[in-house]
Amino acid sequence: MKSIMDMDYEDLKREITENLGWERYRADQIADWIYNKHVLDFSKMTNLSKEYRKILSENYYTDLLELVDKQISKIDRTTKYLWKLRDGNTIESVLIFYPNRVSACISTQVGCPVGCKFCATGMSGFVRNLSTGEIVSQILHMEMEARLRIGNVVFMGMGEPFLNYENVIKSIKIINHQKMIGIGIRHITVSTVGIPDKIVSFAKDGMNARLALSLHAAYNHKRDFLVPINIKYPIEEIIQAAKEYQKITNNRVSIEYIMIKELNDYDSDAEKLVEVLKGLKVFVNLIPVNPVVKDFQRPSRRRIEAFKKILESHGIEVEVRTEKGTDIDAACGQLRIRNKQLKRAFK
């Protein structure tokens, strides 16, 4: 049995014409059923002959995710989905509602090997990479569950996308392709902790998708502590790679900066950040830390504003990110918090 969901458009065409020996347009029909009509059951693909449907059912599958739980925020409708994969592992994805669009936040790994000190996913350890199909299916299944079309995708769920590079690039192709999910490339953002060689490859392979950099500190000694992979890839190398990304794509880079009281929220941190970002066109998102760890507190509103002003005074565009879905632990870094309880409940 093969998974159709792991095939990009070229793969699907090849499978249909070369492996099955059918007409090329059959690939378009199948893609239309799955990605446009949201029909995953081959037996219901009625413009294919009964014989074709039988062959498909016997040799391929489309169901990579099973819904285990769904939580809807009473505050802002943010919806968190918990999915079970075919091997029993679970992952989460989130739908976020904005006035004029719906955004999907998707996972790329079961757990995460990076182990950032403030992140619930990072603290839960690493199990495995997601397949291309498992990444793409999160979007498809949320569209099916919520009965809507997603207009924006951020790779900001569980896992580090650039440690699962090949599958992430392939999933972007499927998410973007007109005959598949069909979301515009400018509406796809990959968030990374910063793997320099992958950032540069992404500029070439990512078809102009956007990049968000999880920086969180401008001093290496602080970042070494918060984001342990910084010891291997220090700030200067990441920023250099981001500059190369920018040279190739001409895209502005988002800088994610989680603010933690009395750790990285001083004026001197803001000034150092200005220095570090020199020569890079950026948009900075300041994110008051979600209290995953007790030791990490949010700075006061006044402190955040003062920090923001310093960046602005140097002409940097900056926004304090408003939180979504805090009542259901769907906000950044809170994915997986209640997973253990859920797993027990759904056994």
Q: Using CB under 6 A as the criterion, which residues of the chain lie in contact with ligand SF4 when the complex forms?
A: 112, 114-116, 119, 121-122, 159-160, 193, 214
CB of 22 to ligand SAH, least distance (A): 39
One of 34, 333, 337, 339 touching ligand SAH (CB under 6 A) = 333
Nearer to ligand SF4, 239 or 332 (CB): 332
CB of 306 to ligand SAH, least distance (A): 20
Which three-class secondary structure state does DSSP give residue 231?
helix
Q: Among the options 105, 116, 119, 332, which is catalytic?
A: 332
**Residue 85 interface partner, choices ligand SAH, ligand SF4, none, CB cut-off 5-8 Å depending on type:** none
Q: What is the DSSP string of 267-292?
A: HHHHHHHHHHTTTS-EEEEEEEPP-S
With tokens 């299916």, the residue in question is 137
User: How far apart are alpha carbons 297 and 290 in whole angstroms?
Assistant: 8
Closest CA to 244 of 307, 198, 276, 287: 198
192 binds ligand SAH (CB under 6 A): yes
230 binds ligand SAH (CB under 6 A): no
Distances (CA, A) of 347 to 28, 70, 339: 39, 16, 12
State the angle between helix axes of 267-276 and 235-249 in degrees (0 to 180), rounded to the nearest 10.
50
Nearer to ligand SAH, 231 or 345 (CB): 231
Nearer to ligand SF4, 56 or 82 (CB): 82
193 binds ligand SAH (CB under 6 A): yes
With tokens 């879905």, the residue in question is 325
Nearer to ligand SAH, 214 or 246 (CB): 214
Per the DSSP assignment, residues forming a β-bridge with 69 are 82
Is 105 among the catalytic positions? no
Q: Report whether 207 contacts 174 (CB < 8 A).
A: no
8 binds ligand SAH (CB under 6 A): no
Q: Among the options 15, 92, 134, 143, which is catalytic?
A: 92
Stretch that binds ligand SAH, among 4-12, 92-100, 175-183, 186-194 (CB under 6 A): 186-194
Q: Report whether 117 contacts 293 (CB < 8 A).
A: yes
CB of 114 to ligand SF4, least distance (A): 4
Q: How many residues bind ligand SAH (CB under 6 A)?
A: 16
CB of 291 to ligand SAH, least distance (A): 7
Stretch that binds ligand SAH, among 96-104, 203-211, 244-252, 282-290 (CB under 6 A): 282-290
CB atoms closer than 10 angstroms to residue 179: 15
CB of 61 to ligand SAH, least distance (A): 28
One of 78, 214, 249, 254 touching ligand SAH (CB under 6 A) = 214
Q: Is the dihedral of CA 284, 288, 294, 295 positive or negative?
A: positive
**Residue 115 interface partner, choices ligand SF4, ligand SAH, none, CB cut-off 5-8 Å depending on type:** ligand SF4
Nearer to ligand SF4, 159 or 325 (CB): 159
One of 8, 134, 160, 269 touching ligand SAH (CB under 6 A) = 160
One of 5, 270, 287, 337 touching ligand SAH (CB under 6 A) = 287
Is 160 among the catalytic positions? no
CB atoms closer than 10 angstroms to residue 10: 11
316 binds ligand SAH (CB under 6 A): no
Closest CA to 121 of 96, 148, 93: 93
Q: Report whether 12 contacts 27 (CB < 8 A).
A: yes
The alpha carbons of the chain give a radius of gyration, in whole angstroms, of: 21
Which three-class secondary structure state does DSSP give residue 335?
coil
User: How far apart are alpha carbons 127 and 130 in whole angstroms?
Assistant: 10
Q: Report whether 153 contacts 187 (CB < 8 A).
A: yes
Interface residues with ligand SAH (CB under 6 A) are 118-119, 156, 160, 191-193, 214, 256, 258, 287, 289-290, 292, 332-333
Enumerate the active-site residues. Answer: 92, 332
